[in-house]
Amino acid sequence: MKVLIAGGAGYIGSTIASACADAGIVPVILDSLVTGRCEFAAGREFYEGDIADGPLIDRIFTEHPNIAAVVHCAALIVVPDSVDDPVGYYQANVTKSLEFVAHLLRNRCERMVFSSSASIYRANDDLTVDEDSAIDPQSPYARTKAVCEAMFADIAATQPIRVLSLRYFNPIGADPKMRTGLQLRRPSHALGKMILAQEEDVPFAVTGTDYPTRDGSGIRDYIHVWDLAGAHVSALTRFDAVLSGRSTSTVINLGTGTGTTVRELLEAFNSVTESPILFVDAEPRPGDVVGAYTRSDRASQFLDWQPQYSIAEGIGHSLQWAKLRDEVLAG
């Protein structure tokens, strides 16, 4: 099987590409390198360009007519940035995705796995969600994902393409073989900021301390990026079975089913590292929400998938990657 991975030179996309290659699936990478890194596409079929570039998409399918499916994980993802620049986020994540799916239809691509987000949910009182929970995105970023899901479902209802949307919770870690990891030196998510605080010998800021959680800090479902990548392999190999019968689109949560607060993540971080960090309480950032974790077993049921890595292992792999990142990305 050969698959096109849009955004395949980014953190998650490149890890999916490695998992595919390890499973005998040939990845073809498309990335604009706005946030992705060409080093992550080394040794693979790589096209630098935009998902909205119709002639480029046509060229890819002409040169790889046996592409069986597309994984669409090309997007801007930083919540505070989306608050500051909603126009840019809607253009990058929605407008270009609409153009992309039109190019896929023209090239008779019938299968798409879409990287969606659990940030689109309104959490229940117990802060859990499943695929039937209410959709109530609280940031422009999250709304772009909700809009894309609805848009793709409408298109799949009458056009010759089927869409499987995977709603990610909170990826951590790196490829255990250290081929890829988080490429940004100044990441926006909690674990990345903990590593940065350790590198700079400053306290970590717990942003938001009055949430209705057991310790007041936000809660997340932290999933190892390699587990996330493995779920994509299962989604690709089981795509037709998952979307059998009359179904043209569906959604599946990808999380561990365990909620971890920011303070608990910090405690886990300090238990793993040889250089524990201090913390300070701070106000929530623009677009921050209390968070949620999945209670769904749909991924197990349809993808025969279960997460394998613990939070401690995800932290360990992130720390290991942080020491290698500048060497790997020297170019």
3-state helix, strand, coil in the chain (%, to 5): 40, 20, 40
Task: Name, in order, each residue with C-beta under 8 angstroms of 321's C-beta and a sequence gap of 6 or more.
Answer: 174, 175, 178, 181, 182
The amino acid occupying position 266 is: L
What's the gap between Cα 33 and its chain centre?
16
Q: Give yes or no: 141 in active site.
A: yes
The candidate with the shortest Cα–Cα distance to 204, out of 221, 189, 183, 223, is 189
Burial class of residue 228, CB neighbours in 10 A (0-12, 13-18, 19+): buried
Q: How do beta strands 67-72 and 111-117 pair?
A: parallel
Other C-beta atoms within 10 Å of 149: how many? 20
279: enclosing H helix or E strand: strand 279-282
Catalytic residue of the set 47, 89, 121, 141: 141
- 25 close to 236: Cβ distance less than 8 angstroms: yes
Instruction: Report the DSSP beta bridge partners of residue 254.
Output: 168
Which residues belong to the active site?
A: 141
